[in-house]
Structure 1
Amino acid sequence: MAYDNNKSFDDKRNTESIFSKRIKAGKRRTYFFDVRETRGSDYFITITESKKRFNDDGYDRHKMFIYKEDFNKFLVALTETVDYVKTELMPDFDFDAFNHEDSEEGREYSSEVATIAVEAAAPVADVAPVESDDSGMDAWKI
Protein backbone atom coordinates (compact mmCIF):
# COMPACT_ATOMS: atom_id res chain seq x y z
CA MET A 1 0.00 0.00 0.00
CA ALA A 2 1.47 3.35 -1.02
CA TYR A 3 1.66 6.21 1.41
CA ASP A 4 -0.34 9.23 0.28
CA ASN A 5 0.98 12.55 1.47
CA ASN A 6 -2.02 14.88 1.50
CA LYS A 7 -0.30 17.69 3.37
CA SER A 8 -0.53 21.17 1.94
CA PHE A 9 2.58 23.14 0.97
CA ASP A 10 2.33 25.15 4.21
CA ASP A 11 2.15 21.99 6.32
CA LYS A 12 5.15 20.50 4.52
CA ARG A 13 7.12 23.71 4.97
CA ASN A 14 6.67 23.53 8.74
CA THR A 15 8.12 20.03 8.87
CA GLU A 16 11.17 20.72 6.69
CA SER A 17 14.34 22.39 7.90
CA ILE A 18 15.81 25.40 6.16
CA PHE A 19 19.13 24.79 7.94
CA SER A 20 20.26 21.81 9.98
CA LYS A 21 23.30 20.98 12.08
CA ARG A 22 23.89 17.54 13.60
CA ILE A 23 26.15 16.81 16.57
CA LYS A 24 26.91 13.20 17.43
CA ALA A 25 27.40 12.83 21.17
CA GLY A 26 28.69 9.37 21.98
CA LYS A 27 27.41 6.12 20.53
CA ARG A 28 23.71 6.49 21.28
CA ARG A 29 22.91 10.22 21.35
CA THR A 30 22.63 12.83 18.60
CA TYR A 31 21.58 16.48 18.78
CA PHE A 32 19.93 18.28 15.87
CA PHE A 33 19.77 22.06 15.56
CA ASP A 34 17.23 23.02 12.89
CA VAL A 35 15.90 26.31 11.55
CA ARG A 36 12.27 26.11 10.46
CA GLU A 37 9.81 28.56 8.93
CA THR A 38 6.34 29.45 10.21
CA ARG A 39 3.31 30.10 8.02
CA GLY A 40 3.89 33.82 8.53
CA SER A 41 7.38 33.53 7.02
CA ASP A 42 9.02 33.82 10.42
CA TYR A 43 11.78 31.56 11.71
CA PHE A 44 12.41 29.52 14.83
CA ILE A 45 14.94 26.96 16.02
CA THR A 46 14.28 23.44 17.16
CA ILE A 47 16.80 21.51 19.24
CA THR A 48 16.20 17.77 19.20
CA GLU A 49 17.92 15.15 21.32
CA SER A 50 17.67 11.69 19.78
CA LYS A 51 18.74 8.64 21.82
CA LYS A 52 18.86 5.08 20.55
CA ARG A 53 16.87 2.72 22.76
CA PHE A 54 18.58 -0.25 24.39
CA ASN A 55 15.72 -2.72 23.95
CA ASP A 56 14.77 -2.19 20.28
CA ASP A 57 15.78 -0.40 17.11
CA GLY A 58 13.79 2.76 17.87
CA TYR A 59 14.78 6.19 19.12
CA ASP A 60 13.54 8.44 21.90
CA ARG A 61 13.31 12.06 20.80
CA HIS A 62 12.94 15.18 22.89
CA LYS A 63 12.43 18.53 21.21
CA MET A 64 12.69 22.19 22.26
CA PHE A 65 11.41 25.16 20.27
CA ILE A 66 13.21 28.49 20.55
CA TYR A 67 11.56 31.53 19.01
CA LYS A 68 13.33 34.65 17.69
CA GLU A 69 12.31 36.85 20.60
CA ASP A 70 14.14 34.46 22.93
CA PHE A 71 17.32 33.85 20.86
CA ASN A 72 19.47 36.37 22.75
CA LYS A 73 18.20 35.38 26.20
CA PHE A 74 18.69 31.70 25.39
CA LEU A 75 22.26 32.26 24.14
CA VAL A 76 23.17 34.36 27.19
CA ALA A 77 21.74 31.79 29.62
CA LEU A 78 23.41 28.86 27.86
CA THR A 79 26.77 30.65 27.72
CA GLU A 80 26.57 31.67 31.40
CA THR A 81 25.64 28.12 32.42
CA VAL A 82 28.48 26.49 30.48
CA ASP A 83 30.96 29.11 31.71
CA TYR A 84 29.85 28.47 35.32
CA VAL A 85 30.50 24.74 35.00
CA LYS A 86 33.84 25.33 33.30
CA THR A 87 35.15 28.02 35.66
CA GLU A 88 33.48 27.36 39.03
CA LEU A 89 32.67 23.65 39.18
CA MET A 90 35.36 22.06 37.00
CA PRO A 91 38.19 24.58 36.44
CA ASP A 92 40.87 21.89 36.13
CA PHE A 93 39.00 19.73 33.64
CA ASP A 94 40.27 19.72 30.03
CA PHE A 95 37.09 20.29 28.02
CA ASP A 96 39.14 20.57 24.81
CA ALA A 97 40.10 16.89 25.18
CA PHE A 98 36.66 16.05 23.78
CA ASN A 99 37.14 18.07 20.59
CA HIS A 100 37.31 15.65 17.72
CA GLU A 101 36.98 15.50 13.99
CA ASP A 102 33.35 15.41 12.87
CA SER A 103 33.32 12.63 10.27
CA GLU A 104 30.45 14.17 8.28
CA GLU A 105 31.60 17.75 8.18
CA GLY A 106 35.33 17.13 8.09
CA ARG A 107 35.71 19.96 10.60
CA GLU A 108 37.32 20.02 13.98
CA TYR A 109 35.40 21.49 16.89
CA SER A 110 37.45 23.82 19.03
CA SER A 111 37.25 26.34 21.81
CA GLU A 112 36.69 28.95 19.07
CA VAL A 113 33.03 27.91 19.09
CA ALA A 114 32.71 28.95 22.74
CA THR A 115 34.50 32.22 22.00
CA ILE A 116 32.10 32.99 19.16
CA ALA A 117 29.12 32.24 21.41
CA VAL A 118 30.44 34.53 24.15
CA GLU A 119 31.11 37.34 21.69
CA ALA A 120 27.64 36.94 20.18
CA ALA A 121 26.08 37.08 23.63
CA ALA A 122 28.11 40.06 24.83
CA PRO A 123 25.98 42.84 23.29
CA VAL A 124 22.88 41.55 25.05
CA ALA A 125 24.49 41.00 28.46
CA ASP A 126 22.30 43.75 29.90
CA VAL A 127 19.12 41.71 29.32
CA ALA A 128 16.92 41.98 32.39
CA PRO A 129 16.56 38.72 34.33
CA VAL A 130 13.32 36.82 33.97
CA GLU A 131 11.03 37.51 36.89
CA SER A 132 9.98 34.64 39.13
CA ASP A 133 6.46 34.11 40.30
CA ASP A 134 5.49 33.27 43.91
CA SER A 135 6.31 29.57 43.42
CA GLY A 136 9.95 30.40 42.71
CA MET A 137 9.67 29.21 39.12
CA ASP A 138 10.91 31.41 36.30
CA ALA A 139 8.24 32.82 34.02
CA TRP A 140 8.69 31.21 30.60
CA LYS A 141 6.94 32.33 27.48
CA ILE A 142 5.11 29.50 25.76
Structure 2
Amino acid sequence: MSYDSQHTDYRYRRESYDEDMRDVRDTREGGHYREEVYSKRVPAGKRTYFFDVKPTRSGDDYFITITESKRIDDHHYEKHKIFLYKEDFGKFIAAIHEVVQHIRKTYLPDYDFKDLPELTVPSRHARDEDEV
Protein backbone atom coordinates (compact mmCIF):
# COMPACT_ATOMS: atom_id res chain seq x y z
CA MET A 1 0.00 0.00 0.00
CA SER A 2 1.44 3.38 -0.93
CA TYR A 3 1.73 6.37 1.38
CA ASP A 4 -0.99 8.25 -0.50
CA SER A 5 -3.55 5.48 -0.16
CA GLN A 6 -2.93 5.15 3.59
CA HIS A 7 -3.53 8.81 4.43
CA THR A 8 -6.53 11.01 3.91
CA ASP A 9 -5.99 14.08 1.78
CA TYR A 10 -7.42 16.90 3.87
CA ARG A 11 -8.50 19.91 1.87
CA TYR A 12 -9.54 23.09 3.57
CA ARG A 13 -12.05 25.73 2.71
CA ARG A 14 -12.37 29.02 4.49
CA GLU A 15 -15.48 30.15 6.26
CA SER A 16 -15.89 33.41 8.10
CA TYR A 17 -18.54 34.32 10.63
CA ASP A 18 -18.50 37.83 12.03
CA GLU A 19 -14.71 38.20 12.17
CA ASP A 20 -14.40 34.58 13.33
CA MET A 21 -12.52 32.32 10.91
CA ARG A 22 -12.46 28.57 11.41
CA ASP A 23 -10.77 25.74 9.56
CA VAL A 24 -13.35 23.42 8.15
CA ARG A 25 -12.41 20.04 6.74
CA ASP A 26 -13.99 19.90 3.32
CA THR A 27 -16.35 16.96 3.57
CA ARG A 28 -16.96 17.06 -0.18
CA GLU A 29 -13.39 15.84 -0.58
CA GLY A 30 -13.80 13.05 1.99
CA GLY A 31 -12.08 14.98 4.79
CA HIS A 32 -12.94 14.75 8.44
CA TYR A 33 -13.27 17.65 10.82
CA ARG A 34 -12.21 17.25 14.42
CA GLU A 35 -14.49 19.57 16.29
CA GLU A 36 -12.92 21.47 19.16
CA VAL A 37 -14.20 20.44 22.57
CA TYR A 38 -13.34 23.80 24.15
CA SER A 39 -12.50 27.17 22.63
CA LYS A 40 -11.41 30.55 23.95
CA ARG A 41 -11.53 33.57 21.62
CA VAL A 42 -9.28 36.55 22.40
CA PRO A 43 -10.00 39.65 20.27
CA ALA A 44 -7.03 42.02 19.86
CA GLY A 45 -7.67 44.82 17.35
CA LYS A 46 -7.35 43.51 13.79
CA ARG A 47 -6.16 40.20 15.18
CA THR A 48 -8.10 37.51 16.95
CA TYR A 49 -6.50 34.62 18.79
CA PHE A 50 -8.24 31.27 19.20
CA PHE A 51 -7.19 28.73 21.83
CA ASP A 52 -8.90 25.48 20.88
CA VAL A 53 -8.80 22.08 22.56
CA LYS A 54 -9.18 19.25 20.06
CA PRO A 55 -9.09 15.47 20.33
CA THR A 56 -6.33 13.50 18.65
CA ARG A 57 -7.21 11.21 15.73
CA SER A 58 -7.50 8.26 18.10
CA GLY A 59 -9.81 10.27 20.36
CA ASP A 60 -7.82 9.13 23.40
CA ASP A 61 -5.91 12.37 23.94
CA TYR A 62 -6.16 16.12 23.42
CA PHE A 63 -4.01 18.95 22.11
CA ILE A 64 -4.26 22.73 21.84
CA THR A 65 -4.20 24.76 18.67
CA ILE A 66 -3.37 28.44 18.98
CA THR A 67 -4.50 30.37 15.92
CA GLU A 68 -3.75 33.98 15.11
CA SER A 69 -6.29 35.30 12.62
CA LYS A 70 -5.54 38.72 11.14
CA ARG A 71 -8.15 40.56 9.12
CA ILE A 72 -6.66 41.75 5.82
CA ASP A 73 -9.88 43.29 4.49
CA ASP A 74 -13.62 42.70 4.87
CA HIS A 75 -13.51 39.21 3.34
CA HIS A 76 -9.94 37.96 3.77
CA TYR A 77 -7.95 36.72 6.73
CA GLU A 78 -4.36 35.66 7.20
CA LYS A 79 -3.82 33.00 9.81
CA HIS A 80 -1.00 31.29 11.61
CA LYS A 81 -1.37 28.21 13.74
CA ILE A 82 0.64 26.49 16.48
CA PHE A 83 -0.08 22.95 17.64
CA LEU A 84 0.74 22.33 21.28
CA TYR A 85 0.81 18.82 22.74
CA LYS A 86 0.30 17.89 26.41
CA GLU A 87 3.94 17.00 27.06
CA ASP A 88 4.88 20.59 26.18
CA PHE A 89 2.13 22.51 28.04
CA GLY A 90 4.27 23.25 31.11
CA LYS A 91 7.36 24.26 29.12
CA PHE A 92 5.28 26.53 26.89
CA ILE A 93 3.51 28.30 29.78
CA ALA A 94 6.78 28.66 31.72
CA ALA A 95 8.56 30.15 28.68
CA ILE A 96 5.78 32.65 27.98
CA HIS A 97 5.70 33.63 31.66
CA GLU A 98 9.49 34.08 31.76
CA VAL A 99 9.59 36.18 28.58
CA VAL A 100 6.69 38.42 29.66
CA GLN A 101 8.25 38.93 33.11
CA HIS A 102 11.56 39.86 31.44
CA ILE A 103 9.83 42.44 29.24
CA ARG A 104 7.86 43.72 32.22
CA LYS A 105 10.87 44.15 34.51
CA THR A 106 13.59 45.08 32.02
CA TYR A 107 11.94 47.07 29.25
CA LEU A 108 8.53 48.27 30.46
CA PRO A 109 8.67 48.65 34.25
CA ASP A 110 6.18 51.56 34.22
CA TYR A 111 3.60 49.92 31.96
CA ASP A 112 0.39 48.73 33.63
CA PHE A 113 -0.06 45.10 32.58
CA LYS A 114 -3.65 45.15 33.84
CA ASP A 115 -4.71 41.87 32.18
CA LEU A 116 -1.60 39.95 33.15
CA PRO A 117 -2.25 37.32 35.82
CA GLU A 118 0.38 36.74 38.45
CA LEU A 119 1.71 33.22 38.06
CA THR A 120 3.74 31.55 40.72
CA VAL A 121 6.17 28.99 39.46
CA PRO A 122 7.56 26.76 42.20
CA SER A 123 11.31 26.54 42.36
CA ARG A 124 12.97 23.38 41.09
CA HIS A 125 13.85 22.52 44.70
CA ALA A 126 10.18 22.71 45.76
CA ARG A 127 9.07 20.60 42.78
CA ASP A 128 11.71 17.97 43.58
CA GLU A 129 10.48 17.77 47.19
CA ASP A 130 6.88 17.26 46.02
CA GLU A 131 7.95 14.24 43.96
CA VAL A 132 9.49 12.50 47.00
- Mark yes or no: TM-score above 0.5: yes
Paired residue type of 1:39: R
Matched, 1:39 2:39: no
Q: Which residue of 2 aligns with 1:130?
A: none
Match of 1:19 among 31, 34, 38: 38
Runs (4 or more) in structure 1 with deviation over 2 Å come to 3-8
For 1:55-94, what aligned pairs fall within 5 Å after superposition?
Answer: 57-94=75-112
Q: Which residue of 1 aligns with 2:130?
A: none
Q: State the shift of 1:5 in Å.
A: 4.3
Distance across 2 between alignment mates of 1:49 and 1:4? 24
Q: TM-score, normalised by structure 2?
A: 0.66
Change (3 A) 1:5 1:77: same
The percentage of counterpart residues that share the same residue type is: 46
Structure with more helix by fraction: 1
Q: State the shift of 1:7 in Å.
A: 4.3
Q: TM-score, normalised by structure 1?
A: 0.61
Q: Which residue of 2 aligns with 1:138?
A: none
Aligned residues: 98
Change (3 A) 1:34 1:4: closer
Structure 1 gaps of 5+ residues are 97-109, 127-142
Distance across 1 between alignment mates of 2:30 and 2:96? 36
Distance across 2 between alignment mates of 1:34 and 1:60? 18
Structure 2 gaps of 5+ residues are 1-25, 125-132
Structure with more strand by fraction: 2
